[in-house]
């Protein structure tokens, strides 16, 4: 996206403020609340919206961070992400840490269970019995059927987290795939949904136990299973 002119773009105050800082003030220079008020007449708290740019990598100093500045002046120390570009704005949004309250509520809502693989905290992994799950609360992104994205906290185990840190949940794709299931599979899924827990088939449990064996015993078992009856 090419850079729009600050006084022509239809956008929120933070975005127009970013363009104003870049195009009118310039990196390294100072500006005052008075200048903001003149550039954005009638906009309530325009200076606060402009300070929100700090969440996008912009460095703006006031006299508390730079004693050479007067009480009225701020300095644009560094231009950050090009927030007028929607993708860049989204990618640069600095995540604020989740509060203990949100983490506690999320854990409770999610039944102290990893929402990715279904394991509960302290339980050992069916496919990796020597390791037990450690749960945390992370922000997860969901892509909705209309293509919009929503982010919310979710309980997840560290193992799933390391595998899926940045990938979004695709509600749109999920609906497609569920729609394509046969009736038996759909019934099975509905049961798991109702219990909020899945069954492990005997075959899957055997597989996990097999995978947890030292290699020489895996080889031995494999040879036995492969042997024709």
Would you count residue 116 as binding Zn ion (CB under 5 A)?
yes
Placement of tokens 């002046």 in the chain: 73
Contact in structure between 118 and 198 (CB atoms under 8 Å): yes
Cβ 136 to Zn ion, closest distance in Å? 10
Residue 22 C-beta: closest distance to Zn ion, Å = 43
**Do the Cβ atoms of 94 and 59 come closer than 8 Å?**
no
The residue among 64 and 167 lying less far from Zn ion, judged by its C-beta, is 167
- The interface with Zn ion within residues 140-199 (CB under 5 A) comprises 157, 160
Residues contacting 151, CB < 8 A, separation 6+:
139, 140, 141, 142
Residue nearer to Zn ion on the CB measure, 12 or 163 = 163
Q: In what order do the strands lie in the sheet with 59-61?
A: 30-32, 73-78, 59-61
Which two structure tokens, joined as six digits, stand for 29? 């220079």
Q: Give yes or no for residue 74 binding Zn ion (CB under 5 A).
A: no
Q: What are phi and psi for residue 49, nearest 5 degrees?
A: -60, -40
Tell me the CA distances in angstroms from 59 to 5, 53, 78, one per residue in order: 21, 8, 5
Instruction: Please identify, among the stretches 88-96, 100-108, 116-124, 219-227, the one whose residues bind Zn ion according to the rule CB under 5 A.
Output: 116-124
Alpha carbons 116 and 193: distance in angstroms, whole number:
13
Q: Least distance from C-beta 205 to Zn ion, angstroms?
A: 18
Which positions from 10 through 29 interact with Zn ion, judged by CB under 5 A?
none
Residue 13 or 116: which CB sits closer to Zn ion? 116
CA distance 168 to 5: 33
How far apart are CB 158 and Zn ion at their closest, in Å? 8
- Binding-residue total with Zn ion (CB under 5 A): 5
Contact call for residue 36 and Zn ion (CB under 5 A) = no
Q: Give the nearer residue to Zn ion in terms of CB position, either 24 or 165.
A: 165
Among the listed residues 43, 69, 117, 168, the single contact to Zn ion using CB under 5 A: 117
Helix (H, G, I), strand (E, B) or coil at 144: coil
Tell the smallest beta-carbon distance from residue 55 to Zn ion (Å). Answer: 29
Which residue from 114, 137, 154, 155 is in contact with Zn ion, where contact means CB under 5 A? 114
Residue found under tokens 């979004």? 168
Binding-site ranges for Zn ion (CB under 5 A): 114, 116-117, 157, 160
């Amino acid at each position: 996206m090419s850079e729009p002119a600050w006084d022509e773009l239809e956008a929120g105050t933070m975005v127009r403020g970013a363009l104003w800082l870049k195009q009118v003030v310039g990196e390294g220079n100072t500006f005052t609340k008075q200048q903001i008020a003149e550039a954005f007449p009638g906009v309530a708290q325009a200076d606060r919206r402009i300070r929100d740019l700090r969440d996008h990598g912009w460095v703006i100093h006031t006299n508390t961070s730079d004693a050479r500045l007067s009480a009225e002046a701020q300095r644009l120390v560094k231009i950050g992400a090009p927030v007028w570009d929607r993708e860049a704005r989204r990618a640069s949004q600095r995540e604020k840490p989740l509060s203990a309250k949100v983490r506690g509520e999320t854990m409770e809502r999610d039944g102290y269970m990893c929402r990715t693989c279904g394991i509960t905290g302290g339980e050992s992994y069916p496919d990796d019995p020597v390791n037990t799950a450690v749960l945390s609360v992370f922000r997860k992104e969901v892509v909705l059927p209309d293509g919009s994205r929503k982010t919310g906290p979710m309980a997840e185990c560290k193992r799933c987290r390391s595998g899926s840190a940045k990938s979004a949940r695709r509600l749109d794709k999920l609906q497609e795939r569920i729609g394509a299931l046969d009736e038996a599979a759909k019934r099975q899924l509905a049961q798991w949904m109702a219990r909020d827990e899945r069954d492990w088939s005997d075959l899957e449990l055997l597989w996990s136990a097999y995978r947890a064996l030292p290699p020489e015993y895996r080889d031995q078992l494999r040879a036995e299973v492969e042997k024709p009856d």
